Amino acid sequence: KTVSEGKVTYRAPSNIALVKYWGKKEDQIPANPSISFTLDACATTTALTYSKLAEKGSGFSFELLFEGKDKPDFRPKIEAFFNRIESYLPFLKDYQLKIETSNSFPHSSGIASSASGMAALALCLMHIEKQLDPSINEEFFDQKASFLARLGSGSACRSIEGDLVQWGYHKGIPASSDLFAVKYPFPVHEVFHKYHDTILLVDKGQKQVSSTIGHNLMHGHPFAEQRFSQAHENITKLKEVFATGNLKGFIEVVESEALTLHAMMMTSMPYFILMKPNTLKIIQKIWQFRSTSKTHLCFTLDAGANVHVLYPQEEKEKAHQFIKDELVAYCENGQYICDRIGFGAKLL
């Protein structure tokens, strides 16, 4: 089939890992499996306009607009992405593309847009592939979108579906793969389908150490092997936690994973610290609050200083009050984002 031109728009959410991906092999193959909550409010919307070049294979090119403006510093990452995926999407060389993208969250909020951004773009590209080959079914579509997104940014492969997603081979999860993420295949207690995530923006500055560098520092890291097996163990532990709604078990795994991620950074060579004093103050406050209020608020961290506060729907009122009264003071300009678990990317 030939397709001369068209336009497609996808909205893809961000995600927050519960078991962290930190360390990778060639071609964005993760050193250990990870599990994430798909988010809802934090998302990237990407419109892709495509038109076939007059002469077949006469040279692929793309135009890139971020929030309506040229963004030259985003180009290298997108170029690298296209180079990595062109052999999987042979039609690319025959098209000219215009990518118009925007985020629901403020730029330079310290929230990485690479997961949602790469997922949205991968889905738009799969849309062209499906135009050319209508026999592609939904399962293959999502799987290949996740596969392509992974080549843009590892964690992006977990931003196609919701609401609980697994990426990376784990022997207890037969459908799991290092190549793409899958929807978590085992029973999940309803409490987790309604989880909330309030993201406290502690430091909105640019990260001092990119995640690419961080992943690479796991090569030859003194604790790498123990860490990778710990991730497997935590995924095994979560199976019971998810099935039964064991919130205590959930908190234990999730907080330990967040601290371990940062412990890996602190013990690599060179070593670095991405947490800020306010990150630690927030963690202390959360622990205090949890012990006195009989609630189940817990935290997780990404590769940065911001804190994700996770809590069940039933504790929303108490959590919001606590966040406003005690935690907002530690956020840069008092900024935070109320998000919740979400159900995956959408064609608009």
Query: Which residues bind to ligand PMV, rule: CB under 6 A?
Result: 17, 20-22, 34, 112, 114, 153-155, 211, 215, 261, 302-303
- Comparing CB distances to ligand PMV, the nearer of 30 and 312 is 30
- Comparing CB distances to ligand PMV, the nearer of 214 and 312 is 214
- Comparing CB distances to ligand PMV, the nearer of 45 and 166 is 166
- Closest approach of ligand PMV to the CB of residue 146, in Å: 13
Separation of alpha carbons 47 and 242, rounded Å: 36
- Closest approach of ligand PMV to the CB of residue 115, in Å: 6
- Comparing CB distances to ligand PMV, the nearer of 23 and 312 is 23
Residue 173 near residue 235 (C-beta atoms within 8 A) = yes
- Closest approach of ligand PMV to the CB of residue 323, in Å: 22
- Closest approach of ligand PMV to the CB of residue 264, in Å: 10
Separation of alpha carbons 212 and 312, rounded Å: 32
- Comparing CB distances to ligand PMV, the nearer of 22 and 95 is 22
- Comparing CB distances to ligand PMV, the nearer of 17 and 182 is 17
CA dihedral 50, 51, 56, 61 (to 10 degrees): -60
Burial of 119 (0-12, 13-18, 19+ CB in 10 A): buried
- Comparing CB distances to ligand PMV, the nearer of 125 and 264 is 264
- Comparing CB distances to ligand PMV, the nearer of 31 and 297 is 31
- Closest approach of ligand PMV to the CB of residue 28, in Å: 8
**Structural tokens at position 197:** 């995530």
Separation of alpha carbons 337 and 41, rounded Å: 8
**Structural tokens at position 78:** 């997108």
- Closest approach of ligand PMV to the CB of residue 94, in Å: 30
Separation of alpha carbons 73 and 113, rounded Å: 14
- Closest approach of ligand PMV to the CB of residue 301, in Å: 8
- Comparing CB distances to ligand PMV, the nearer of 152 and 312 is 152
- Closest approach of ligand PMV to the CB of residue 212, in Å: 6
- Closest approach of ligand PMV to the CB of residue 209, in Å: 11
Residue 274 CA neighbour count, 13 Å, CB half: 27
